């Protein structure tokens, strides 16, 4: 689902850092910088299509390969929870982008269009950055949770087996998140 939009965003930001892309390049009706914000913060599929075309499939696939994300399947829009955790870990440690772009991407991963899963139970005193993905009966959330002492990655992928009852699954996500927060708070 939409968690893989992070790969597009990182590939775009790497191109900005290399000088082959700019935030003010026009993509559709808006500049690419606006499309990036919409891609991550609002999970906008039009922005995703535009940025995917702009960045190119080779750049996305190369990024995944270089990061060892062996499960990433661009054609099927799939990635394993383990590879998503690897991606978030590298992002959170500042190993993917320069500091400015890392901070920008993390900022877009807060106060998003979908806050009912992992982040809904994270205390206000804890920084949480996440990307959700909802598609048909699939609900995913992948987060960096930073309590200021011991940051951790929490990735929860779920399959509704034909049902789209996201609110019931959100309760399960919240329960798992509370357990993780308790475990890492000790």
User: Which residue in the block uniquely carries the two structure tokens 């559709």?
Assistant: 28
pLDDT band at 130 (very low <50, low <70, confident <90, very high): very high
In the chain, the percentage of residues whose pLDDT exceeds 70 is 99
- Predicted local confidence at residue 186, as pLDDT: 64
Q: Residue 54 — φ and ψ, nearest 5°?
A: -65, -45
Calpha distance 155→80 (Å, rounded): 10
The tokens for 102 are 């890392």
Q: What is the DSSP letter of 117?
A: S
In the chain, the percentage of residues whose pLDDT exceeds 90 is 90
pTM of the model: 0.96
CA atoms within 13 A on the CB side of 143: 32
Burial of 158 (0-12, 13-18, 19+ CB in 10 A): middle
Is a pLDDT exceeding 90 seen at residue 13? yes
Distance of CA 27 to the CA centre of its chain: 21
Pairing type for strands 30-31 and 26-27 reads antiparallel
């Amino acid at each position: 689902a939409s968690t893989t939009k992070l790969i597009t965003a990182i590939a775009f930001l790497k191109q900005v850092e290399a000088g082959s892309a700019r935030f003010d390049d026009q993509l559709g009706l808006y500049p690419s910088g606006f499309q990036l914000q919409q891609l991550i913060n609002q999970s906008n599929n039009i922005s995703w299509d535009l940025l995917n075309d702009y960045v190119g499939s080779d750049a996305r696939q190369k990024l995944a390969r270089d990061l060892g994300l062996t499960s990433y399947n661009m054609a099927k829009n799939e990635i394993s929870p383990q590879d998503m955790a690897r991606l978030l870990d590298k992002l959170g440690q500042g190993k993917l982008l320069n500091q400015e772009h890392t901070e920008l991407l993390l900022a877009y991963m807060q106060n998003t269009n979908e806050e009912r899963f992992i982040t809904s139970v994270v205390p206000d005193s804890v920084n949480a950055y996440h990307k959700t993905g909802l598609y048909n009966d699939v609900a995913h959330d992948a987060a960096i949770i930073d309590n200021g002492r011991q940051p951790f990655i929490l990735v929860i992928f779920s399959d509704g087996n034909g049902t789209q009852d996201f609110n019931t699954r959100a309760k399960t996500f919240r329960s798992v998140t509370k357990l993780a927060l308790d475990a890492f708070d000790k």
